[in-house]
Amino acid sequence: MLALVTGASSGIGLMYAHRLASYYHYDLLLVSNQEKEIRETADDIAAKYGVKAIALYKDLSTLEAPGELYQYCQENHLEVEVLVNNAGVFFFNDLVDTAESRVNLMLHLHIRTVTNMCRLFAADMQRRGHGYILNMSSMSAWMAMPGIQCYNASKAYILNFSRSMWYELKPHGVTVTAICPGAVDTGLYGLAPNLRKLAVALHVSMPPEKLVKIALKKMFKGKKQSMPGTLNYFFVPLIKHLPDWVVFFAMKRIACFQK
């Protein structure tokens, strides 16, 4: 059994790799744009858990990347049973103050790459009559949030795309699960270490290990979507009923705490 994890050299992706190997005993194909780190990760996981772990250095934001990755699997006779589309980027900024290259990176990685990865690998899963796909969305997909306009819009795309794909693929034995976490304690948000610790202590932020444990459990149960964290189920309806200016003010304040 083989699981493919993107963005697997750090953060949530790294935790997915460890959990899939240690608890579910999957061999792994680990993909990242950090060459040294992904090779070290694969070696470490293989040594720790006695599974096969292949490291592949690749920038998934390019137009050709999904097809090249799929071709690599075909040429090496790798049958992907689990696909975890985890690779992503995050930034706080007003759109007019953001470089076009950063906007394109986010939109390509979150929308085009996820779509084509699902299209290519789901076709094989459908032919085999079995497979699991996990796509990382976000709690922000449920609301409009100034300062992360491209992020939450692209995560809303992932959520709705995944739900549609679930219905298309479920009759063929393949499920697609969208995971919609709130804040997770990784370096993605650019918070200082003391603020990261405070956020976890106040249960505003979730440890990545806890998120991954919940997410994989939901995926293997074939759920369409999951929003890990009990507080999030109260927070989302609350923020949707707040005036826009309150949300805007809060997002601006959060942006001030970035490194």
Length of the chain (residues): 259
**Structure token pair of residue 236:** 């989302």
Could you say which of 151, 157, 189, 233 is catalytic?
Answer: 151
Sign of CA dihedral 7, 226, 93, 251: negative
Pairing of strands 2-6, 27-32: parallel
Contact of 140 with 152, CB cutoff 8 Å? yes
- The reply to whether 26 belongs to the active site is no
Q: CA-to-CA distance for 167 and 108, rounded, in angstroms?
A: 24
Q: Calculate the alpha carbon distances from 237 to 155, 223, 249 in Å.
A: 18, 21, 18
| C-alpha span between 182 and 229 (Å, rounded) | 8
Q: Are 122 and 218 in contact (CB under 8 A)?
A: no
* Whole-number Å distance between alpha carbons of 82 and 235: 31
Residues acting as catalytic residues:
151
